[in-house]
Amino acid sequence: MDWGIQNRLSRIIKPETGHALMLAVDHGYFLGPTRKLEVPRETITPLLPYADAVMLTRGILRTSVDPTSDTPVVLRVSGGTSIVGPSLADEGITTTFEEAMRLNVTAVALSIFIGTEFEKQTLLSLADLVSEGEKFGIPVLAVTAVGKELEKRDHRFLSLCCRIAAELGAHFVKTYYCDDFEKVVGGCPVPVVIAGGPKLETFKDTLQLVSDAIARGAVGVDMGRNIWQSEHPVAAIRAVRAIVHENATVDEAMELFESGQTVKA
Ligand code: R5P
């Protein structure tokens, strides 16, 4: 792997632990003003010090993140669809590589929609993006999207998606946690991070998800709603961080969450 790509990846996946806590706040690109992300700056600012990277679009980066921030940026560069449109899968590339570089990003991210009528266009976008990334030393994160069909998240489907992403050159992959998750990781020769998905019933469920994912080979999380839709987002991200980077058990992280609830978001 090129030195520049390795260097940038190591700003996200920390060499000290081999793990990464990425904060996903890109939801508005197809969902609009999602609950608790209505005013992105208010949601993002208190959480940035605890994140190894922040994943977002150019619009939210420019309007809602201070340019003096030193948190690495993973820029979402795919989109063009909305939750009320005909298909979430019909994505294209929305931001040029030139602009991504001007924004001094650490990595770029796009979604791939395998199994849909748009799989070819999204996979070719991934391949093109990787070719650009290789040229400039910028890693590419492929997100194995399922659109509205959350029931697609089983290990056979996600293994297929992650492997195809890696075959096309993605430098790391974001997918969902599932039963037999170690099979997904085992068939994917590049690092895998998990999304959190819609908010779970309890925060302990979130911590269990993170713990199980790390135990089964994920290098970390790229998580959004289960952190910032919490009543105590700072306490939540600190607790997730304890599992990702400090090997905390679910109970230890839960204790940290409960004791941290007085920290103002
Ligand atoms: C979804 O397409 C977005 O890329 C989100 O970044 C991703 O789903 C992670 O956020 P959450 O943990 O809220 O699922």
The span from the CA of 54 to the CA of 24, in Å, is 6
Asked if residue 204 is part of any domain, the answer here is no
Q: Hey, which of 192, 222, 230 would you mutate to test ligand 1's pocket, going by the most ligand atoms within 8 Å of its Cβ?
A: 222
**Domain CATH code at residue 52:** 3.20.20.70
Write down the catalytic residue from 120, 135, 148, 174: 174
174: annotated active-site residue: yes
The span from the CA of 244 to the CA of 165, in Å, is 24
pLDDT (0 to 100) of residue 264: 53
Asked if residue 255 is part of any domain, the answer here is no
49 is in which domain, residue-wise?
3-193
Asked if residue 252 is part of any domain, the answer here is no
Asked if residue 157 is part of any domain, the answer here is yes
Asked if residue 220 is part of any domain, the answer here is no
pLDDT (0 to 100) of residue 88: 95
Asked if residue 174 is part of any domain, the answer here is yes
Q: Each residue's pLDDT tens digit in the chain (265 positions)?
A: 799 999 999 999 999 999 999 999 999 999 999 999 999 999 999 999 999 999 999 999 999 999 999 999 999 999 999 999 999 999 999 999 999 999 999 999 999 999 999 999 999 999 999 999 999 999 999 999 986 676 778 999 999 999 999 999 999 999 999 999 999 999 999 999 999 999 999 999 999 999 999 999 999 999 999 999 999 999 999 999 999 999 999 999 999 999 988 655 5
For ligand 1, atom 10, the nearest C-alpha belongs to: 224
What is the number of the ligand 1 atom nearest to the C-alpha of 24?
Answer: 6
pLDDT (0 to 100) of residue 148: 67
What is the number of the ligand 1 atom nearest to the C-alpha of 221?
Answer: 12
pLDDT (0 to 100) of residue 262: 64
CA of 223 to the centre of ligand 1 (A): 6
pLDDT (0 to 100) of residue 23: 98
Number of domains the chain contains? 1
pLDDT (0 to 100) of residue 153: 80
Predicted model pTM: 0.96
Question: Measuring from each residue's beta carbon to the nearest atom of ligand 1, which residues come in under 6 Å?
Answer: 24, 26-27, 55, 111, 143, 145, 195-197, 222-226
What is the number of the ligand 1 atom nearest to the C-alpha of 196?
Answer: 12
For ligand 1, atom 7, the nearest C-alpha belongs to: 195
Asked if residue 222 is part of any domain, the answer here is no
The span from the CA of 196 to the CA of 178, in Å, is 11
Asked if residue 260 is part of any domain, the answer here is no
